[in-house]
Amino acid sequence: MSPQAIVDGLVAGSMIGLGAIGVTLTYSILRFANFAHGEFIAWGAYFALALVSVLGIGMEPLGPFSFGWLLPLAAIVAAVLAGGLAILLDRLLFSSFRARGSATIIMVIASFGASMALRALLEFVFTSKPVYFTRELQIAVRFGGGLRATPDQILMLATTVVLVVAIHLLLTRTAIGRQMRAVSENPVLARVAGVDVGKVVRTVWFLGGALAAAAGVMAGLLVQIRPYMGFDLLLPLFAAAILGGIGSVPGAILGGIVVGLCEALAVQTIGAEWRAAAAFAVLTAVLVLRPQGLFGKARR
């Protein structure tokens, strides 16, 4: 594997990992695989894009980066909006199923329908034509040994590290993190212990949506923005979340990086057109060898 493929894999893997954190959190607390999660990624990217193009200021490239000062701000707003979208989707759809105790799989089907509708809505508004945050070309920084990375890529890796550490601390050191873990283990007991489960559920959706938006803005910056960008990431997200072990944040990010590296390896050895199959290969391997994932406890 060439050094360059490793950099590409790491960057793609950190995007996948950020998305997978949301998948793993909603999965462990709400207990279903949300097929609409990819749409938070796409909606996050389009939220940021809409803000940037409507405001039209602060577009001059900032230092070595390809984007201006507006984009980071727009990304934060987009994260909040995507978090809100996730809460709204739960309020409109999933909360009703939970309230009546619907089968997990009914929620999975509903999330599949919601994903179709959300994506088609993006296509309706923005058309399926790919768009870009910026057209600036970047000069890669050389690290020696053939290792090169653009300033954007380096910033993204750094942002991912910061976000992951922040989420990890939130889960392990704060009251809401404790409550999230408690609800994940036993929602009824959590209520008896004084935990406002509704608040925890909203927090989880918000975090998932916001992190997905962060991944979406990164994907938009590195590749392009398309309505299908989130849906196409869905399989890698699931593969990463399952590989890492459902409920494990470090696992999700590590799983993301493994999937990203496998994709880069596939691109190098087999060809770019097979990139999407790499995630399926990883998923199959995990399910055969260690279905509970790297950091997961055996549980059905």
Residues that bind other proteins (CB under 8 A): 31-33, 35, 93, 96-98, 100-106, 108-110, 112-121, 123-124, 127-128, 175, 178-179, 181-182, 185-197, 231, 234-235, 238-239, 242, 271, 273-274, 276-277, 279-280, 283-284, 287-288, 291, 300
In Å, how far are 99, 145, 152, 213, 238 from 193, measured between CA atoms? Answer: 20, 55, 45, 33, 32
Identify which of residues 135 and 300 has a Cβ nearer to other proteins in the complex: 300
CB atoms within 10 A of CB 182: 19
Nearest approach in angstroms of CB 49 to other proteins is: 17
For residues 214 and 243, which CB has a smaller minimum distance to other proteins in the complex? 243
Q: Based on CB atoms, which residue is closest to other proteins, 11 or 235?
A: 235
What sections of the chain are H helices per DSSP? Answer: 3-30, 37-55, 70-89, 95-99, 104-126, 151-173, 175-185, 187-192, 197-222, 229-244, 249-269, 275-289
In the bound state with other proteins, the residue whose beta carbon lies nearer, of 190 and 221, is 190
- Residue 48 beta carbon to other proteins: minimum distance, rounded to whole angstroms: 21
Residue 107 vs 221, nearer CB to other proteins = 107
Q: Rounded CA gap, 241 and 232, in Å?
A: 15
User: What gap in Å lies between CA 275 and CA 292, rounded to an integer?
Assistant: 25
Return d(Cα 77, Cα 82) in angstroms, integer: 9
In whole angstroms, the minimum distance from the beta carbon of 287 to other proteins comes to: 5
Least distance in Å: CB of 195 to other proteins?
6
Residue 129 in tokens: 């034509």
